[in-house]
Structure 1
Amino acid sequence: MKHLYSKYHQWIDYIFVGVLTTIINFGVFFLFDTIFGISYLIANAISIVVAILFAFYMNKKYVFKSRTTDRKVLFREFTLFVGFRLGSGFYDMLSMWVLVAYFSLNTNVSKLLTEVVVVLLNYAFSKFIVFRKRNTHA
């Protein structure tokens, strides 16, 4: 079991953090959409922002183990992370609108379907662009 974890730790950690992020994303969406009765698009935007902030911290620290404390590098990581997450957030918003407005799907079902693609996009952006290992030699 240890061997499997050491071989696939990043995927396992990403899936775990992704599940937590998705729970937070969906929980905030459900709270604002279903409990408070706020427009599903506004509820979705709020849930995306909360999830982005949570995911940045968790991915930086636990998944990709980026230990940088240099402000310039930290700012770069944060802006890239948020930028790409806003890109996937745009997909999230668009697909929610299409699924609800044109296919008349329930907002909660639409949110779950949308998150599958969003999680895959976010992993690729984070692994290959935001937190990729850089050669620090000149």
Structure 2
Amino acid sequence: MQEIAKKHADKLRFTIVGGVNTALDFSILFILTMLFNVPKELANFISTFVAFLFSFFANKKYTFKSTSKNLKKQFLLFTIVTLFGLWVIQTIIIATITPIFTNIGVNKPAALLISKLIATVASLIWNYTLYSKVVFKKPKSFSD
């Protein structure tokens, strides 16, 4: 059992960091769209940016426990992976799915919430896969 927990510890840590980022992201998205009538695509851009820096350092130090000294390279890779997931994948999903839900009678706030949830799941899968295999990959040991 401990072996399974150890094997999946980074996934649990990623989930925790992602939960904090997601709460921050959703809060800002809904404040901007519902209170300030900011268009959903722009609000998504802003909300995801706010959680961005925290996410980098939390994932580097806490999730993947990266000891790489090449901060610039990791930050650049993290930026490319994250921004594509957030600003391309999420924006396309939100812009595509929200109107579908409103067209079938779901009210606008609920349609946005459902769309954002779907977009978030898609970007989380994208992020975890590329963070673990590219951005914060563990260096190969001499025995590999």
Q: How does 1:95-114 map to 2 (within 5 A)?
A: 95-104=93-102, 106-114=111-119
Q: Tell me how far 1:114 sits from its aligned partner.
A: 1.1
Structure 1 moving runs of 4+ over 3 Å? 1-5
**Residue ranges of structure 1 left out of the alignment (5+ in a row):** none
Q: Give the secondary structure class of the aligned counterpart of 2:67.
A: coil
Q: Give 1:131's aligned residue.
A: 136
Distance 1:109 1:6 in 2: 33
Report the number of matched residues: 134
Distance 1:3 1:19 in 2: 24
| Structure 1 residues 97-126: Cα deviation after superposition (integer angstroms, max 9, x where no partner) | 111234436212211121111111110010
Q: How does 1:1-138 map to 2 (within 5 A)?
A: 4-68=4-68, 70=69, 73-89=70-86, 90-104=88-102, 106-135=111-140
TM-score of the aligned structures, taking structure 2 as reference length: 0.83
CA RMSD between the two structures: 2.0
**Residue ranges of structure 2 left out of the alignment (5+ in a row):** none
Report % sequence identity: 29
TM-score of the aligned structures, taking structure 1 as reference length: 0.86
Greater Cα offset, 83-92 or 5-14: 5-14
